[in-house]
Structure 1
Amino acid sequence: MGFETPTDIQTQAIPLLLEGDRDFIGLAQTGTGKTAAFGLPLLDHLDPEWDHVQALVLAPTRELGQQIAEQLEKFAQHKKGVRTVAVYGGANIATQIGQLKSPRHVVIATPGRLIDLVKRKAVKLDRIRHLVLDEADEMLNMGFKEELDTILSFTPEDKCTWLFSATMPREIRRMVGQYMTDPLEVKVNQSATVNQNIDHQFALVRHSDKSEAIARFLDLDPDLYGVVFCRTRRDTQALAEDLLKRGYRADALHGEMSQAQRDRVMLRFKQKHLQVLVATDVAARGIDVDNLTHVFHHSLPGEAAYYTHRSGRTARAGKKGISLALMGVKERGHLNRLSRTLDIEFTQAMVPNPEEIVHARLSTWGKGVLDLPVGRGIPEEIWEQMSLLFGDLSKEELLRQVVLTELRKLDTGTKADLNQSAHGKPKRDWGDQDGRGRRPFRKKPFKKPYKSKGHHGGGASTPQWEDSKPGKAMGAGKAKKKHRKKGGFKPGGEAPWQGKSSGRPGFGVKGKKKRY
């Protein structure tokens, strides 16, 4: 079956699940071998001579359900007579009803489709001995709380429930208290679940530049084969369409697509007709593709469990891989929290500039030229024609012409540096900006402040108020009006220029009025 060394969750869970009929909780991240951890003991507990459903495995998505079914079928090859079936939404329900008419020992299902089949009396759950809840936290995140309660009500109370989850939120604890009895619990250290062959990187870019940044990484490495993870379906579709318009072999995978569409996209991706797959976290559950070189995070996930799941798509079977997060400067704190939680080190990657892309592509092109067999496969008449055309050129001249021709194909134009500085305040992503990169504003007219000039006996000075035009002094009327607005004196009282000298600018000598 390809197993050499068991993972932590397999080492701890399998002996406990083989021992006896006990409820069980396994806390481990995605991609840590949980299917084998529950699948092998589950098959051991089955009796092929009983022609009814003995075990039910619930999964949050179609892709994960299909993956579990495929692995259980491989495991079941070593136990004759065991029959499994996978039922999920998006597929023909009549076909699934037909499959369930023949005896099945294990049913792998998504919650919504299973309830439909139970209501149609296509499957009975009243005699199952084992219930497995895989990715339980993800099922709750997807809103399957009521469906899970309904399904559990169809099952016998004396069954064994095995719950596997990456986290233990409050709703999971509620389910444990309501439906499980004194469960055994195994928790795998999160930091130990991160593949050590993954190079974790980040690039600081503005949100509006992320699509261009991904395009540049694709330009830099023609052999790049990876997945871009987005948070929302809208972002997923928009990014895939943008990459497609730019000429890249890309497509989207999200929950709004039909099962036929998703299967078609996954087939093209597995056959490498697509270079990059843009997917949501939920739709990517169960993606099992070999030789992925890169995982891009268009937006950092909120939880460490999601980051582990995403990055775990690459660096499989002992190979190396890169997990690259595109993020803004303000997200450094979140990145540091992921680093501490998962005990991994992130290194900064720079978005390649056009010159770097050209040099890399020319190098790849040159190596490809050298790998071609010299002089083979060229028809004689074409060789004679080209010899006459280029025969007068020297070796250097011919090489320059060939390189220039390839350079024109690689012309990337004049493009800006997308990398943000790790220090200082990041620029805001305004729509319209002025020449200095700032948001334009309407300038207010300049108005000079209060100013005093000259002296008049006793050190007192004469007040001068100036209008917006330099050099134009205010008249007495304007001065009085200005002081009334500021509450400088009350009507009928003594104006500042009528009182005793206070030694302050603008007040006259004792007993004398100032004229303006």
Structure 2
Amino acid sequence: MGYESPMPVQEEVIPFLLGEDNDVIALAQTGTGKTAAFGLPILQKIDVHIYQPQALILCPTRELCLQIADDLNDYSKYIDNLKVLPVYGGSSIESQIKMLKRGVHVVVATPGRLLDLMNRKTVDLSNIKNVILDEADEMLNMGFTDSINAILAEVPASRNMLLFSATMPQGIASITKKYMNNPKEIVIGRKNEGNKNIKHVYYMVHARDKYLALKRIADFYPNIYGIIFCRTRKETQEIADKLIQDGYNADSLHGELSQAQRDYVMQKFRVKNIQLLVATDVAARGLDVDDLTHVINYGLPDEVESYTHRSGRTGRAGKTGISIAICHIKEKGKIREIERILNKKFEKGEIPSGHAICEKQLFNLVDQIEKVKVDEEEIASLMPSIFRKLEWLDKEDIIKRVVSMEFNRMIDYYKDADEIQVVDERSSRSERGERGERGERGSRRGHEAEEGFARFFLNFGKADGLFPNQLIELVNKCVPGKVRIGKIDLRDNFSFFEVEEGESKRVMDSMNGFEIEGRRISVEPAQAQKGGGGDRKGRGGSSFKGKRDGRDFGGGDRKGRSSDKPWRRSSSERDARKKRFNR
């Protein structure tokens, strides 16, 4: 199988599992050789003449369950009659019950399905000698604590127990205290530290440019083979659909897919028919795919542990990998937090220019031409005709035409593409005005627009569930092309925002033609009061008049509420508006 010498986690763990009454907590990153570390000693201790489960391996996902079972079958190739059974939801429970009745030696299971089998009295755990909890922190994060407790309560107290985890959350301490006897703690690297073979890079871009940045990164690495992590199922599907439409070998993996669909996507990804797999955290947990070159975070996760698991998909088994984060300015703090916890320094990346991408793609094509395998016998009969057809072209012309034939699409795309604007990390003002009301500081407490910008009134506010990022998204959806947004000032029932003066008419004309759930958007120039500014708290100060569903309304009262009483909504009404806006 290509194993030549044990990896550090294998050197540490295998001797303990070969012994008796040795409980182990192993802190090691994904991809460090954990499956062999527990798989080889477990198989060594199996008595194949006893057709009862002697080893139990619990893992968080069906994908990891299948991967471990496949690896154990490979390791036991020369052990006659040894039976390994993967037990997981999404497949026929009847067929799993039949296999258990015939007799198996090793059960690899997700907690939910194993508990179901235990409740049906179809699995006997009384002869278990070894219990392994693989990716224990992930199982706790996914809410399997009660299931794990119920399962471990049915396992003999005399068994060996091994707990693998990439991080050490509090929930693991309660399991170790209750079910493990003086466990030895083995730490490969530092606690919570990321894989040393992974390079961490972040790109700081405007929120509107994240997909364009993703495309440029993918184009800059022609042989990329990686996973793109998104926050939600909807975002996952949208990004995958966009990539497919733009000609990339991509597909999505998320919880709304059936088991058959997930298996099909994963099979295509494993054989590299898919270069880019767009996935949610839940769907990608436990994926064991070799040779990933990149992991791309389409925005950083909320938990540092999630970033550790994401980045751990690459740089496996001693190989190198790159973990990329595409961030906007508000995520800068998360980067610093991850750096501190992982003891890793992120490298700030520069979005590749169109020229640099074309150059990289060109040399990749030339490299492929150099290395292409030529079957002389198969093409020998065709070559004389081809030579005659092309004899009027010299070598340089042929090379130019071959390159252009393969390369024109890329050149056409990037020759007219605007460069992605660099975000100044020193000021959040550059993130398209995502400063909200906090941006109204110091000498700019008044309501005059910044130089070069026009200030507009919008008939939606906080009570409608509007936040700065949603206002920006609203402008993006309504106005074609790029619009630079300045300050944003949100009030309860209305808002102000600024755009470049040259775009003011286009923004106003475009936005006034839209509706949100039957309510028309009203965007009008906001005229500053003579004598200027608001009071010390930034209230009042602008004179405007607009219409909302045919009714006039004016400025705010002392608490910033609309003076038109029919528009003072109840809290339940405001909550409903928020949900609609968020949806």
Taking a change above 3 Å as real, the CA distance of residues 98 and 385 of structure 1, as seen in their structure-2 partners, is: same
**1:236 corresponds to:** 236
- 2:17 & 2:226 partners in 1: Cα distance? 36
- 1:371 & 1:54 partners in 2: Cα distance? 50
1:414 has 2:497 as partner: no
- 1:436 & 1:333 partners in 2: Cα distance? 24
- 1:159 & 1:249 partners in 2: Cα distance? 47
After superposition, the C-alpha distances for 1:373-394 in whole angstroms (9 at most, x for unaligned) are 899887766766666xx77xx9
1:443 aligned residue (523, 526, 534): 526
Taking a change above 3 Å as real, the CA distance of residues 397 and 270 of structure 1, as seen in their structure-2 partners, is: closer
Match runs of 1:32-71 below 5 Å = 32-71=32-71
Which amino acid is the alignment partner of residue 27 of structure 1? L
Taking a change above 3 Å as real, the CA distance of residues 422 and 171 of structure 1, as seen in their structure-2 partners, is: same
After superposition, the C-alpha distances for 1:143-178 in whole angstroms (9 at most, x for unaligned) are 112222222233334433322222333322222233
SS at match of 1:104: coil
**1:110 corresponds to:** 110
Which amino acid is the alignment partner of residue 444 of structure 1? Q
**2:288 corresponds to:** 288
SS at match of 1:307: helix
Report the TM-score, using the length of structure 2 for normalisation: 0.68
Contact 1:229 1:278 in 2 (8 A): yes
| Matched-pair identity in % | 43
Contact 2:31 2:316 in 1 (8 A): no
**2:200 corresponds to:** 200
Gaps of 5+ in 2: 435-468, 477-481, 487-496, 499-523, 533-542, 544-583
Which amino acid is the alignment partner of residue 268 of structure 1? K
Deviates more, 1:433-442 or 1:339-348: 433-442
Deviates more, 1:371-380 or 1:243-252: 371-380
Contact 1:201 1:324 in 2 (8 A): yes
**CA-CA distance at 1:196 after TM superposition:** 3.8
- 1:30 & 1:366 partners in 2: Cα distance? 36
Which amino acid is the alignment partner of residue 58 of structure 1? L
SS at match of 1:224: coil
- 1:325 & 1:60 partners in 2: Cα distance? 25
Which amino acid is the alignment partner of residue 527 of structure 2? K
**1:252 corresponds to:** 252
RMSD: 3.4
Aligned residue pairs, count:
446
After superposition, the C-alpha distances for 1:349-376 in whole angstroms (9 at most, x for unaligned) are 2222333333333444455567788998
Taking a change above 3 Å as real, the CA distance of residues 353 and 143 of structure 1, as seen in their structure-2 partners, is: same
**1:309 corresponds to:** 309
- 2:157 & 2:22 partners in 1: Cα distance? 13
After superposition, the C-alpha distances for 1:100-159 in whole angstroms (9 at most, x for unaligned) are 121211111111111222233321123323222222221111111222222223333443
**2:221 corresponds to:** 221
Contact 2:20 2:160 in 1 (8 A): no
**2:75 corresponds to:** 75
SS at match of 2:475: coil
Taking a change above 3 Å as real, the CA distance of residues 319 and 142 of structure 1, as seen in their structure-2 partners, is: closer
- 1:379 & 1:163 partners in 2: Cα distance? 62
- 1:283 & 1:215 partners in 2: Cα distance? 23
Contact 1:198 1:323 in 2 (8 A): yes
Taking a change above 3 Å as real, the CA distance of residues 359 and 95 of structure 1, as seen in their structure-2 partners, is: same
Deviates more, 1:418-427 or 1:223-232: 418-427
SS at match of 1:282: helix
Match runs of 1:326-345 below 5 Å = 326-345=326-345
**2:31 corresponds to:** 31
SS at match of 1:199: strand
Contact 1:191 1:341 in 2 (8 A): no
SS at match of 1:432: helix
Taking a change above 3 Å as real, the CA distance of residues 76 and 384 of structure 1, as seen in their structure-2 partners, is: closer
**1:132 corresponds to:** 132
**CA-CA distance at 1:89 after TM superposition:** 0.9
SS at match of 1:279: strand
Taking a change above 3 Å as real, the CA distance of residues 67 and 193 of structure 1, as seen in their structure-2 partners, is: farther
Deviates more, 1:208-217 or 1:368-377: 368-377
SS at match of 2:223: coil
After superposition, the C-alpha distances for 1:286-321 in whole angstroms (9 at most, x for unaligned) are 333333222211122344443343333333455443
Higher relative CO (CA 8 A, sep ≥ 6), structure 1 or 2?
1
- 2:105 & 2:362 partners in 1: Cα distance? 58
- 1:143 & 1:349 partners in 2: Cα distance? 36
- 1:270 & 1:224 partners in 2: Cα distance? 14
Match runs of 1:165-180 below 5 Å = 165-180=165-180
Taking a change above 3 Å as real, the CA distance of residues 281 and 406 of structure 1, as seen in their structure-2 partners, is: closer
Taking a change above 3 Å as real, the CA distance of residues 19 and 247 of structure 1, as seen in their structure-2 partners, is: same
Contact 1:240 1:251 in 2 (8 A): yes
- 2:263 & 2:228 partners in 1: Cα distance? 18
Match runs of 1:422-433 below 5 Å = 422-425=425-428, 426-427=430-431, 428=434, 429=469, 430=472, 431-432=474-475
- 1:44 & 1:368 partners in 2: Cα distance? 45
Gaps of 5+ in 1: 450-467, 469-516
